[in-house]
């Protein structure tokens, strides 16, 4: 399996060795698109895809994602970024170049329920989730055999609120040693400390049910069933120090009715969770998300 995935990744890297993405946000003002387009033209780049959004043409915030092809890109990166500094300063931009052949290294955190982990692993095996899944970290042994059968390292690190600091020190050390770019909480049922969150700011993606702020705490599906809800949903978001209140990336819903008991609702909810988390992770890997305050712009 590893060799098949490596072949897919190697082919993707080769096909995209000259492709990059430019993500920008700044105060909206005339001339931004023209300046960026002219800059890329003067550097022999061909724009493949361009998406932009303004919160308000008069005094709002402007966002743009440009994907472009530039022959011999690897030898031109330093000059490209250096030359762009003038435009960055002219418009007061926050601007980041992302290089498509640099596959992001991912760590997945999971507890007992494996449904979100399974979805990510399936997408990865099929070649539809282009990431280097460097490790799975869990406070349970439940998923070890499944993960290790795919050649992915599995780290069992027991965790609870009494040893949280020591646990996170081990986790942070592992993540830094492996140069992890993105952390996915695939139903990891532990609260992260502010230190952990700040260490990986806008790099941690979580999934939870969308009953919130209703049915907070244990057994949400049982309480939702007792309340007679008609919609079940899921939300994927970046993790911040405000529990389950970080910038939302993706959401979805599914209808239920009086014939669905609590267990049926949970199964429907898990299905929604899987698809929502998968889409959010893919968009992050494809550099389609710009975080702005407590919101996201998703291109």
170 class by beta-carbon count within 10 Å (0-12 exposed, 13-18 middle, 19+ buried): middle
244 flagged as catalytic:
yes
Chain centroid, CA 145 distance in Å: 25
Cα-Cα-Cα-Cα torsion 111, 115, 116, 121, nearest 10 degrees, comes to 100
Catalytic, out of 128, 244, 260, 287: 244
CA angle at 242 for the pair 239 and 248, rounded to the nearest 5° = 45
d(CA 124, CA 201) in angstroms, rounded, equals: 24
Residues acting as catalytic residues: 244
């Amino acid at each position: 399996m590893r060799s098949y995935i490596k072949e897919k990744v190697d082919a993707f890297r080769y096909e995209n060795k000259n492709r990059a993405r430019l993500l920008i946000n700044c105060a909206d003002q005339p001339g931004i698109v023209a300046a960026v387009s002219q800059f890329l033209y003067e550097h022999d780049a061909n724009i493949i895809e361009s998406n932009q959004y303004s919160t308000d043409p008069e005094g709002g915030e402007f966002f743009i994602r440009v994907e472009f092809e530039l022959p011999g890109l690897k030898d031109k990166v330093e000059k490209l970024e250096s030359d762009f500094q003038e435009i960055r300063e002219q418009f007061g931009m926050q601007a980041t170049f992302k290089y498509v052949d640099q596959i992001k290294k991912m760590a997945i955190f999971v507890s007992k329920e494996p449904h979100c982990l399974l979805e990510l692993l399936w997408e990865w095996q099929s070649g539809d989730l282009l990431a280097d899944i460097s490790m799975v970290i869990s406070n349970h042994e439940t998923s070890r055999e499944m993960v290790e059968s795919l050649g992915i390292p599995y780290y069992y690190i027991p965790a609870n609120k009494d040893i949280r600091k020591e646990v996170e020190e081990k986790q942070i050390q592992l993540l830094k040693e492996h140069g992890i770019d993105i952390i996915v909480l695939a139903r990891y049922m532990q609260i992260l400390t502010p230190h952990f969150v700040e260490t990986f700011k806008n790099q941690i993606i979580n999934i939870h049910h969308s009953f919130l702020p209703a049915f907070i705490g244990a057994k949400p599906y049982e309480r939702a069933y007792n309340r007679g809800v008609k919609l079940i949903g899921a939300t994927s978001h970046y993790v911040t120090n405000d529990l389950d209140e970080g910038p939302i990336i993706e959401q979805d819903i599914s209808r239920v009715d009086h014939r669905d008991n609590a267990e049926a609702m949970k199964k429907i909810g898990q299905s929604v969770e899987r698809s929502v988390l998968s889409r959010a992770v893919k968009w992050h890997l494809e550099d389609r998300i710009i975080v702005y305050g407590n919101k996201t712009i998703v291109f």
